[in-house]
Amino acid sequence: MTRLILAIVLALFPLTALAQETTTEPPENAAPDISEQQQPMTLERLDQIVRALDPEAESDGRLWRFQIANVPILIVTDIASDRMRAFAPVREAKDLSPEDMARVLQANFDTALDARYGIAKDTLWSIFIHPLSPLEKDQFISGLGQVVNLAASYGTLYSGGGLQYGDGDSGELQRALIDELLKKGQEI
């Protein structure tokens, strides 16, 4: 099933098809450089972070394709709109029952956190969308971890993994992925 979804992703979203013709200059209204945490996120910085998480990531400079915990991730950026989107395939949308649809919408409200479920190209995706320039490294890494957790927990917890209400071990297990990714990103 994962290979089928990955094949769909690669067929629907080749690197060149998703990349928009934009400049690599930051927006004119970007905040002045004050400190590393407050500097606007750039495509170059995004690339450094992605490659720290997966050295085999593929990119054309505006779009990245890589894996975290065996989950295929795509990142699309648009400098002109100052936006980025990271997403992972979950399943084919045509197979969603009304109950499945209600459950993902409920999760978007309470357990998905900064990631969300969404449908496009006949696929259910786990998505993290954020303005690019104000995005901080740890926010980005946490968002990626939530995308992976949300995709992996579909059908069970439907959780981004950062917060978990109630008893059980799932929250700790899902939080472990985010903590591991943050640790990898500390050196950059």
Tally of residues, the chain? 188
> Going by DSSP bridges, is the β-strand pair 63-68/123-131 parallel, antiparallel, or unpaired?
unpaired
* Two tokens, residue 81: 């709109």
**Helical H segments across 70-159, by residue range:** 98-110, 137-152
- What is residue 173's predicted lDDT score, i.e. its pLDDT? 53
Distance in angstroms between the alpha carbons of the first and the last residue of the chain: 35
Query: What's this model's pTM, rounded to 2 decimal places?
Result: 0.72
* Two tokens, residue 38: 């407050």
Class of domain 2-19+57-185: alpha beta
Q: What are phi and psi of 51, to 5 degrees?
A: -70, -25
Least confident of 22-26, 44-48, 89-93, 118-122: 22-26
* Domain residue extents for the chain: 2-19+57-185
Asked if pLDDT for residue 108 goes beyond 70, the answer is yes
What DSSP state is assigned to residue 30?
Answer: P
Name 13's bridge partners.
none
